[in-house]
Structure 1
């Protein structure tokens, strides 16, 4: 699907290096991602790719991967058995932020969520990403909940 400035498609295994680079393309991501190839990325990609309730997409601009997000569909009993769409790991290349690419990606995700019968779209964002928070609020998202995380990784 081609948007105003972005061509959106499902990610392919060959996109992994570009995706990892996008994840690491800011101060927070640099502390989370590994610069060297890691089999964990391939394993995660395979699990996402095999599950029809997860869509990992890339946005290309001029044939180059410029953005990505993971859209997951979650069944629930609350809200009368409503399905939710969860946006995760949305990234736009640092040099291309502010040009409408993120909006194209979010619009695509909302359309796909509606098409799949979801009653709401939700996301989380690191509290340090204040620019992202302003972006999501301009896109219509409201900060209605607190989020909590507990790391299960050992050091």
Structure 2
């Protein structure tokens, strides 16, 4: 499972002209799922994200987590995070999870993130053509791969 975390001052997701998610301050999380991912990956990743100290404290030092700041989160499914680009110029998505595997894991990720933070998480729509808008704060952008956690 891969995640791209972007600290934002605002973010939104629009599908077919309809805004389905909208936050002011927090994290926009793009999540890519592969067939080999499990609940263990979800547990580790959601705990890591909730406690990751990437928000400024009173002195402007990145010393606070989204959990501590009460920031909001939007989670967006992003199969292209598993693109293979080594050969040729057309990315291969063979490592990306098939929908029958990825959808339940994506939903479990969102539910576990809500449990970690004790609040509702906004989302895009799995498989939809989404327009994602954000104002990256910092900019702070991190990439986390659960297969590289050791």
Q: Provide TM-score, normalisation by structure 2.
A: 0.30
Q: Could you state the TM-score of these two structures normalised by the residue count of structure 1? A: 0.29
Q: Which one has a larger percent helix, Structure 1 or Structure 2?
A: 1
Considering Cα pairs closer than 8 Å and 6+ residues apart, tell me whether 1 or 2 has the greater RCO. Answer: 2
Structure 1 or 2: more strand by fraction:
2
